[in-house]
Structure formats: structure tokens, C-alpha cells
Amino acid sequence: MTFLQRIRKPFRFTNGNVTLVLIGVNVLVYALTSVAREAYVYLAMIPAAVLQLGWVWQPFTYMFVHANLRHLLFNMLGLFFFGTSVERSLGSREFLFFYLLTGALAGLFSLAAFSLGGAMGVSLVGASGAVYAVLLAFAVINPRARIFIWGVVPVPAPILVAGYTVIELWSQLFGSGGGVAHLTHLAGFAFAALYFPIRHGVNPIKRLASGR
């Protein structure tokens, strides 16, 4: 078996409720960190803690920690609406692998970027990197889908992804939207875009273009 065949070997297809389990874990971690501030510091991604204290789990655990209830609600709504559809298409095992891998890679990328930029004390939290990856996966799998903004305005899924990409790039470059990890969001998109050709042999650009 070649290397390419190994990394493309599929999981046995299962149709479970991984999306709901992930939401439940996020809610439980939020409850924990709300009553125990030390848990928040322990699980958030802080470059100084990772590189100087050896807290190497943080680029993984950060995606289950949220700053406040609004932050949690926004991310979990996105995970629910897009994650359930992606999970049904990929299968529960593949979806869990995709979610955790893209979220962790977005965390590692952010760790490198913050460290190189000297932001050693920044605290990165939230499922946004993984949720943005799920959004891109939804658009790749369903390029002709329409997403209703505010429940009213229909927007094609590829256009929504393109719009979010432009917004995040603009915000990252020009510093708007303080406190939001725009770089992590973009990393989520980027690693999801790499995942499909590497893991499934699917060109995400062509798939998104087919929905025009």
C-alpha cells in the first residue's frame, strides 16, 4: 500500500451523533471554566505556557474553551447547523477526525504565528477554527446549497465562504474586530481546503466553482 493509499484509507462509515457530542463537550468545558478560572488558563492556548511550561495539550484543548456565553452560543450554532450535514455526508468517524484535525492544526498555526509575532501572553480560545473548517466542508460537499442569513437572505454556500474569507483577511490585515482570532479562522479554512485533496482527492476550488 502506497503512502497516498494509506492516508486516503476510509474509516468504516457510521452515522452517529458526533456533532451533538462535540456540542455537549463544549458546554461542559464552558461550565467548568466558568467556575474554575484555573481550568480556563490550563486549557486555553497561551504560547508562553506551551513553549515555556510544556503545556503541549493547549493547541488541542483551546477549541473546547470559550470566553463567554455569546462566544459559545455563536460557535455551537454554527457547529450544529453545518456540522450535522457534514457528518451525515462524511460519516461520524471521518467527521470527528476532520473536526479535531483541522481545529488542532489551526491551533498549531496560531501558536507559531503568535510566537513569531512576540504575542507570548495572548490567550486563544474557541471552536471557531474548527467551525470555519466545517463551514468550508459544507460548501465543498453542497456547493449548490443556499444559506439563509438572518433566516431571510439566501446566499449560495460558496459565496458565503468567499465573503467570510474576504472579511477575515481584511480584519486580520487592518486590525478591525478586536479580540477576534481572524488568523485562526483563516487557518481553519486553509486546512479544510488542504484536507479534501489530500484525504479525498477532491479539488475544493472546482467544487465551490460548480455551485455558481
Residue 7 covered by a domain = no
Q: Which helix (H) or strand (E) holds 26?
A: helix 18-35
What is the domain-level CATH number for residue 110? 1.20.1540.10
Return the C-alpha cell found at 210: 460548480
Q: For residue range 143-160, list pLDDT tens digits in order.
A: 988 887 766 778 888 888
Per-residue cell: 162: 468567499
Share of the chain above pLDDT 90, in %: 70
| DSSP codes joined into one string, 67-136 | SSHHHHHHHHHHHHHHHHHHHHHH-HHHHHHHHHHHHHHHHHHHHHHHHHTT-TT--B--SHHHHHHHHH
pLDDT score recorded for residue 211: 62
Q: What is the pTM of this model?
A: 0.92
Instruction: Give a yes or no: residue 11 inside a domain.
Output: no
Q: Per the domain annotation, does 123 fall within a domain?
A: yes
Ramachandran angles phi, psi of 29, nearest 5°:
-65, -40
Identify whether 29 is part of a domain: yes
DSSP code, position 202: -
Report yes or no on 49 lying in a domain: yes
Whether 3 maps to a domain, the answer reads no
User: Whole-angstrom Cα distance, residue 84 to residue 113?
Assistant: 31
pLDDT at 193: 96
Domain count, the chain: 1
Neighbouring CB atoms inside 10 A of 34's CB total: 14
- In whole angstroms, what is the distance from residue 129 CA to residue 92 CA? 19
| Spatial distance between the Cα atoms of 24 and 142, rounded to a whole number of angstroms | 26
42/164: higher pLDDT: 42
Q: Please check whether residue 10 lies inside any domain of the structure.
A: no
CB atoms within 10 A of CB 126: 25
Residue 9 within any structural domain of the chain: no
Rounded to 5°, the CA angle 41-43-47 comes to 70
Residue 189 is part of which domain span?
16-209
